[in-house]
Structure 1
């Protein structure tokens, strides 16, 4: 195995293949940089060009792009408070407040360094998992997957802010919005109001962009100020990197969370950053998550790149895509004459190991390139909001429309955006709504499959019990810590 890995490294370091990898890295950063686009869009754009390519070159191009999308999407999340992709939503919570204090460079320095470390850990995890992948993947059936979605939904309570009630209600509202369209268990459509557009449900990119971007745009227009409230840009890239090294255990924990969630098909990038953010919030002492705590940037950014390594395990070895991006990757394999499955660790092992190396190298080179771009791109935070808004609106409208190429996307964008603005005014947390929306369909699907297949016997499954205890422990610990922090604040005020 070690010798095969060394041979694969020399294959990847071929100048022609490196050139394609750097092309993929460049495209991935641009896709992440533009709000509303996603890995699925980037993969769809590249897919026609890999037809007939040498598999090593084609995979260098595709994996190079996949590896850095969640690095490039950090720019809009921190500088504008708008998620570049669905995997950078949690970064907004503390990254944008840091940018408002003129510390955008510090936040991005930490984010890019953690993305690099997380991506490398994800690549190592992919390499180490290859020999033991089959029993690991097949150990998760519908009951365990349902409990994992419940674990994700429990983050709504953790991210509720000062009012647990508001957080729970926002999560339930997200579940309601996520249930629009075809039901996963019965042949019927729900809440479509006889509209053909709604039969397919509401698109995640539209909801993610609207719930975060729309309120920011309105605020920019009404406040008529720059993103950076200080009016100056502080140099803090090295400080951000030092912050990451100082919190090295948080980086490693979050990366492990990312890898584990990546292993599970169907969860993926839409929720991994929230899970890492929630775990970080509950495991870091004296934190001020949501108020500009650099650790609130470190946790999700370490996880979202690490997730890619984990998600490639079921995709490559079992042909089970965990997201739209990896589903298109399977199509790319077919176009290059490859077939996902056990042969990827037998006859095509060298290609699989070249993917591992490409994933690691692309994360390192992509993070380095983004760090170089920090200074010029950070100047966006010094431009008056009313001058940025027209450009942002064009990007956001394109990003919303490209989701399903329907005018209904634009209508939903405005409706959900206004809902997000009202929630902002009323001080209701928006992350729980997005978490509820993301997990709505998965939770219902896995619940009904579990009932149909096992009745109620699945409740006694040992792994289900362990996950249930973990959820209870997290929620109880969160409530205790919140009560304790209130007591400390009260004593401090006296």
Structure 2
């Protein structure tokens, strides 16, 4: 390993390879920062280009785009309430409210620091613990996946702005959206109403973009008074006090992100949602989440970057992609005649360690390059909204269409934009809907697989230690706010009775 790491450093600092790495970082910033373009799309576009390159340079380019685009999606999420990438959807919940309060620079600084920290921690774990983590990931089967998704869904108690009923209605609506289309197991059409377009289901990206980006454009148009923004965004990296405040959140979220990332097929978007929910669960003041607090930015940003690195673990050690982008990277390896798997560290050790060192430097360079990039990017705020609004809509349309080359998805996005606009006017929380849309397909498919494994015996969830622990945590998280509310009510009533008696 030591020899491999030294060789990786040497390969990285070959001038051409270093130039390729920096180019990949800048492309990742641009791809993630512009709404509608993602790191996944850029990797797909550059895949043919990489075929003409040396494998070392090719994978430094593709993996650096992958690493930095996960971070840069938070820039537009914070400034415009438009997630640049799906991984940044949870960053909207607190990042945009911070920007609305004049703390956009602070939110961006927290995002930079959290993303770099999560990415570095994820890469360090990737370097030293890849074989061990890969074997642990294999111990996760359908019951554990279902329990994990269910635990994430129970955070509705913390994301419902104090209204648990609305929260559960939102989750139910999100789960309903996730069921539309063909049943993944039986092929039975569900809620398609005879429409061929609905047979393939409703993709979560049009839903997310509609609920957050399009609805925000509609809200800004309604205000009319806003011509330009006088807010000057100056990115402020966290001071020691703020670092101390968010360090616990970053540490827990990074570890959770790494853990979620190594589970094949889960991805950084789910990691961001789960880490946000767990941060709210651990917080002494969970009701502050969603109002614009640094912890609400630190949690998803550290988790999604850590998860992006964690997703490389099963790719390199087992040949199993951990996310959509790593599935494309798997194709890139095969295109170059390289088969990822248990023997890759022996047969392609030099290439593997060069990629790992490149990922480490890409995450570190976020701290240096992000600030000047944001200073240029944030000048868009000075452009009249009559120009910005239509551009945001245009990018959203292009990005939504490009996911599945479907004009129907564009229509879905616009419909959910209108839905999100009216729901926000009615003070209805959007976060639970997103929770249901993202986690619903995972929960459903893994529940069905669990039932097939056990011949429809529900005890499978309670006889496996990991799934049992996760289900108990889910139950506690639902009951805790209800019990706490009942106790506080009893205390208040007791104090009132004591006052009357005295």
Alignment of 1:438-449 (within 5 A): 438-449=438-449
Structure 1 partner of 2:99: 99
Q: Are the aligned partners of 2:81 and 2:213 in contact in 1 as well (CA < 8 Å)?
A: yes
Alignment of 1:37-48 (within 5 A): 37-48=37-48
Distance 1:333 1:403 in 2: 23
Deviation at 1:173, TM superposition (A): 0.8
Distance 2:187 2:151 in 1: 28
Q: Are the aligned partners of 1:226 and 1:383 in contact in 2 as well (CA < 8 Å)?
A: no
Q: How many residues align?
A: 491
Deviation at 1:52, TM superposition (A): 4.5
Deviation at 1:304, TM superposition (A): 1.0
Structure 2 partner of 1:332: 332
Structure 1 partner of 2:83: 83
Deviation at 1:374, TM superposition (A): 2.7
**SS of 2:211's equivalent?**
helix
Matched, 1:463 2:466: yes
Deviation at 1:43, TM superposition (A): 1.4
Distance 2:427 2:99 in 1: 21
Q: Are the aligned partners of 1:107 and 1:240 in contact in 2 as well (CA < 8 Å)?
A: no
228 and 245 in structure 1: CA distance in 2 versus 1, 3 angstrom threshold? farther
Structure 2 partner of 1:243: 242
Bigger Cα displacement from structure 2, 400-409 vs 472-481: 472-481
Deviation at 1:255, TM superposition (A): 0.8
Deviation at 1:126, TM superposition (A): 0.7
178 and 233 in structure 1: CA distance in 2 versus 1, 3 angstrom threshold? same
Q: Are the aligned partners of 2:267 and 2:324 in contact in 1 as well (CA < 8 Å)?
A: no
Deviation at 1:228, TM superposition (A): 9.1
**SS of 1:89's equivalent?**
helix
Structure 1 partner of 2:346: 346
Deviation at 1:128, TM superposition (A): 2.2
Matched, 1:182 2:182: yes
**SS of 2:347's equivalent?**
coil
**SS of 1:403's equivalent?**
helix
Deviation at 1:125, TM superposition (A): 1.2
Q: Are the aligned partners of 2:269 and 2:304 in contact in 1 as well (CA < 8 Å)?
A: no
Structure 2 partner of 1:127: 127
User: Deviation string for 1:78-121 (max 9, x for gaps)?
Assistant: 00011111111111111111111222111101111111111000
Distance 2:173 2:428 in 1: 12
Structure 1 partner of 2:388: 388
Bigger Cα displacement from structure 2, 161-170 vs 231-240: 231-240
106 and 146 in structure 1: CA distance in 2 versus 1, 3 angstrom threshold? same
Distance 1:176 1:263 in 2: 28
TM-score by length of 2: 0.92
Structure 2: segments with no counterpart, 5+ residues: 496-502
232 and 481 in structure 1: CA distance in 2 versus 1, 3 angstrom threshold? farther
Q: Are the aligned partners of 2:64 and 2:359 in contact in 1 as well (CA < 8 Å)?
A: yes
Matched, 1:273 2:272: yes
Deviation at 1:486, TM superposition (A): 8.8
262 and 462 in structure 1: CA distance in 2 versus 1, 3 angstrom threshold? same
Distance 2:182 2:91 in 1: 31
Deviation at 1:234, TM superposition (A): 6.0
Distance 1:312 1:162 in 2: 38
Structure 1 partner of 2:499: none
Q: Are the aligned partners of 1:206 and 1:403 in contact in 2 as well (CA < 8 Å)?
A: no
Matched, 1:305 2:308: no
Structure 2 partner of 1:405: 405
Deviation at 1:403, TM superposition (A): 1.7
Deviation at 1:488, TM superposition (A): 11
Q: Are the aligned partners of 2:77 and 2:92 in contact in 1 as well (CA < 8 Å)?
A: yes
